[in-house]
Amino acid sequence: MTEQQHVNITLGLLGAARSHYLWFHGAHHVTRGACFVGDHKLYAKIYEQYVGDYDALAEKAIVVLGEKIADPLTVTNAAAKMLASYQSPVALPPQGIANTGLQLERGFIARVERSRTDLQAGGQLSLGLDNLLSQIADNHETWVYQLGQRAK
C-alpha cells in the first residue's frame, strides 16, 4: 500500500466521522413532532459518539501519517463533499430524518469495514487500530438498531 492510499483511506474515515457528526447534530436541532424528546436525545448521543470517534481516529492517524492528516481544512473539505451528498435533515420530516440517519449509519459501518479490510491487505492494520475500528463498528451497530426501531 502506498502512503497516498493510506492517506486516502484515513481521510475518508475522518471525513465521514466529521460529516456524520455535522448531519446528526443538525438532526438534533431540527427534530420535531410527537417523537421530539426521544429523537432529540438519540441524535445527541449519536453526534457525541462521532466526536469521540473522530478524536480517536485522528490520534491514531497522526502516529502513522503525521500531523498533516488532521489538518482541519483538509478534513473539513472532505467532510463537506460527503455532507453535500446526503439529504439535509432540515428538509426532512421526522420519519425521514430517522430513515436517512439509519442509511448514514449503515454506510458508515460499511466504510469502517472496507477501510479495515484495505488497511489489513496493505499491511497497515495494527492490533490497536483493528481494535479501535472494531469498537467503532460495534458502537454504531447500536445506533443502527435504535434508528431501525425508530424508523419502523
- Tens digits of per-residue pLDDT, 48-101? 999 999 999 999 999 999 999 999 999 999 999 999 999 999 999 999 999 999
- Helices 127-151/36-65 angle, 10° precision: 160
What is the 8-class DSSP label of residue 152? -
Single out the residue of 129, 123, 1 nearest to residue 61, CA to CA.
129
Q: Cα separation of 138 and 114, whole Å?
A: 15
DSSP state, 11? H
- Structural domains of the chain, count: 1
The model's pTM is 0.97
Q: What is the pLDDT of residue 123?
A: 96
CATH number of the domain encompassing residue 46: 1.20.1260.10
Left (φ > 0), alpha (ψ -120 to 50) or beta: where does 66 sit? left
Domain with 125, as residue range(s), is 3-151
